[in-house]
Chain A
Amino acid sequence: MRTPFFVLILTAIAAALYAAFHSIGNDYLFFAGYTVLQYIVLATAWNILGGYCGYVNFGSAGFFAIGVYSTVCLYTIGQSVEDVFPQFLVAPMQLIFPLPLPALIVVGGAVSGLVGLGMGYLTLRLRGVFFAIATLALAVVLETLIVNWEFVGGSRGAYVIPPNEIPVFGPYIDFLFALMLILVVVSLTVARLIERSKLGVGFATIRDDELAAEATGVPTLRLKLIATVLSGALFGMAGAPFPYYIGYVEPGSAFNLSYAVNSIAMPMIGGTTFWAGPMIGAVLLSTLQQVVTVTVSSAVNLLITGLLLIGFVIIAPRGIVGLWQDWMRRRAERAKGATPAAGAEGTPA
């Protein structure tokens, strides 16, 4: 399927989903749906580096938080233009600020992508567990910086007040949901494009055997940097609308462990080698988490994630997509083996 057609189908599905939710008219669906969509973007972002290249990133929460805090920072600037800029710049800046949310998403993605580039330069010469620890350390360093940065609220946090209503969309959550749907379309398209391109082949060689990849001419460091930038940018874009969704941001919520754990668990459960894998994992796991949050307690969420992750690592290490592919292969082999036999027995002499 060609990419424009793929985008068209995804957009149609997204529009249908939005229309369906809108016709039901229950705001909770938008709130819960937003979280599920956010996790689709996060899982897809993680999978670009972790699934395609085989570099396990434990610092997902850090990249997500960069998006969150770039929004908080720009929102705060918008609230205090007179205090932040010199007098001669106040008037032009008042024309620019406050930035609209789509612009904040672009900025969040750009900042997080740049940090991804920096992290890549610092850590991508490390491999395996050392790389994973370095990414975790990066998230800790970033959290410490944010805790000590008073301008964005520091440890006490910051309020970001969204408008109640927005033209065309109505309630602000409907607008956030629509933006997140667009981000899902963007992230899935990016993932699919990577998979079907020369870049995807290069990523797969890095995952399989980096030494052999270099020996066959693959510029591994450059490709890994591209992966960290793309992955970081998607994380940042998913994080940018979060302050408007939650209203009050503090480091504990932005750097929450659940983002790191879920970003890893969802692709592992769905399957890491196919663009739809992270989406399947994210839809299943985060929907289940939403149901449990409402019916039992949100405290059970990480337990569920952990148990499912252990189960899948043992029973289906290639995730649901892997199970599906195995089943299809077995079916094809059975059909191949059965054809001559059926002909021999079933054809009259």
Chain B
Amino acid sequence: MTKAKSAPLLHIEQLGKRFGGFVALDGVDLEVANGERLGLIGPNGSGKSTLVNCICGTLQNETGSVTFNGEKLDGMVAHERTHRGLARSFQLPRPFRSMSVAENIRVPLLYTVNARSRSHLSHREIDERCMELLTLVSLHDKARKSPADLTQVEMRKLELARAMAADPKLLIADESMAGLSHSEVEDIVALLLRMNEHGVTIIMIEHIMRAVMAFSQRLAVLVSGKKIADGNPEDVIKDKEVVGAYLGT
């Protein structure tokens, strides 16, 4: 007896994006199931960040389509996609510098969670949720600090906590570990796994392979704007085309 396959949370079909004459994405197909942990890798310039930007609405795809939770997102602006449950963290942390750490977390609670739910969160509920999230990322004792006072790893955690505050169905972590030490990378991987345990589907874009391998249930590889592999991480990293793309052979 075969089990009926449920519709994917994210369905990307023939996604294309050009910058002038440069083809950044060339007909990318990708599916992500609900609750899945997907690793997305590729050399610099392969189109990973462009793909994230097209999924999140920072850039608009020229061809193909993005379907999220059964709804086509093409043409929709970024904040509307966030309201529908898509959240992202940025490659370089982009905190709101005039606000405290806790105030950074309040923004998606005010603008996304409140916009989504009919019953608005009270100030007390927002404060409680802020502290929950800051505790999740171990920043509860820095709630009133300025983001400028945080270390690199704390800044990354703030970025992830802010994305989580939007109560997303899908979180895209775009190189959340770049420039971090070994123990800090482990810290972030553990955090992402905890977030996944909370029911959030996660796409991790990363260059640090031990983190990708420790985290991903499935691995997709982008090279020159095309997806060249997609499957079990152990199999994908042994794929000849993938090895060739990384080693230049």
A contacts, CB < 8 Å to B: 198, 201-202, 204-205, 207-209, 211-221, 273
Mask of B91-105 contacts with A, CB within 8 angstroms, 1/0: 000111111000100
- B111 interface residue per 8 A CB criterion: yes
User: Which A residues lie within 8 Å of B236 (CB)?
Assistant: none
Closest to A220 in B: B79
**Cβ-defined contact, A215 with B87, below 8 A:** yes
User: Which A residues lie within 8 Å of B110 (CB)?
Assistant: 198, 201-202
**Cβ-defined contact, A215 with B58, below 8 A:** yes
**Cβ-defined contact, B58 with A205, below 8 A:** no
- B108 interface residue per 8 A CB criterion: yes
Q: Identify 30 residue pairs between A and B in the complex whose beta-carbon atoms are under 8 Å apart, listed by A's number.
A: A198-B110, A201-B107, A201-B111, A202-B110, A202-B111, A204-B96, A205-B107, A208-B96, A208-B97, A209-B97, A211-B58, A211-B90, A212-B90, A212-B96, A213-B107, A214-B58, A214-B78, A214-B82, A215-B78, A215-B79, A215-B82, A215-B87, A215-B88, A217-B79, A217-B83, A217-B111, A217-B112, A217-B115, A217-B166, A218-B107
B90 to chain A, nearest CB (A): 7
Dominant secondary structure at the B interface = helix
**Cβ-defined contact, B94 with A212, below 8 A:** yes
**Cβ-defined contact, A215 with B98, below 8 A:** no
Of A205, A215, A219, the contact of B56 (CB 8 Å cutoff): A215
User: Which A residues lie within 8 Å of B115 (CB)?
Assistant: 217
**Cβ-defined contact, B111 with A198, below 8 A:** yes
Instruction: Give the docked Cα–Cα distance between A221 and B77 (Å).
Output: 10
Chain B 123-169 residues near chain A, CB threshold 8 A = 162-163, 165-166
- B106 interface residue per 8 A CB criterion: yes
B28 to chain A, nearest CB (A): 21
**Cβ-defined contact, A216 with B99, below 8 A:** no
Instruction: Give the docked Cα–Cα distance between A165 and B79 (Å).
Output: 55
Of A201, A215, A219, A220, the contact of B106 (CB 8 Å cutoff): A201
Closest to A214 in B: B78
Instruction: Give the docked Cα–Cα distance between A273 and B108 (Å).
Output: 21
User: Which B residues lie within 8 Å of A217 (CB)?
Assistant: 79, 82-83, 107-108, 111-112, 115, 166
**Cβ-defined contact, A208 with B83, below 8 A:** no
Scoring B82, B87, B94, B107 by chain A CB atoms within 10 A of each residue's CB, the highest score goes to B107
A200 to chain B, nearest CB (A): 11
15 new A-B contacts at CB < 8 Å, known A204-B96, A215-B78? A202-B110, A204-B99, A208-B99, A209-B96, A211-B90, A212-B90, A212-B96, A214-B58, A216-B79, A216-B107, A217-B79, A217-B83, A217-B111, A219-B79, A221-B77
A194 to chain B, nearest CB (A): 14
**Cβ-defined contact, B99 with A215, below 8 A:** no
A189 to chain B, nearest CB (A): 21
Instruction: Give the docked Cα–Cα distance between A201 and B97 (Å).
Output: 12
Instruction: Give the docked Cα–Cα distance between A162 and B102 (Å).
Output: 54
User: Which A residues lie within 8 Å of B83 (CB)?
Assistant: 217
**Cβ-defined contact, A216 with B58, below 8 A:** no
Instruction: Give the docked Cα–Cα distance between A205 and B78 (Å).
Output: 15
Chain B 43-57 residues near chain A, CB threshold 8 A = 56-57
Instruction: Give the docked Cα–Cα distance between A205 and B82 (Å).
Output: 15
A219 to chain B, nearest CB (A): 5
Instruction: Give the docked Cα–Cα distance between A134 and B162 (Å).
Output: 34
Closest to A207 in B: B98
Closest to B97 in A: A208
**Cβ-defined contact, B112 with A216, below 8 A:** yes
User: Which B residues lie within 8 Å of A214 (CB)?
Assistant: 57-58, 77-79, 82
**Cβ-defined contact, A204 with B108, below 8 A:** no
Instruction: Give the docked Cα–Cα distance between A70 and B56 (Å).
Output: 44
**Cβ-defined contact, B99 with A209, below 8 A:** no
User: Which B residues lie within 8 Å of A207 (CB)?
Assistant: 98
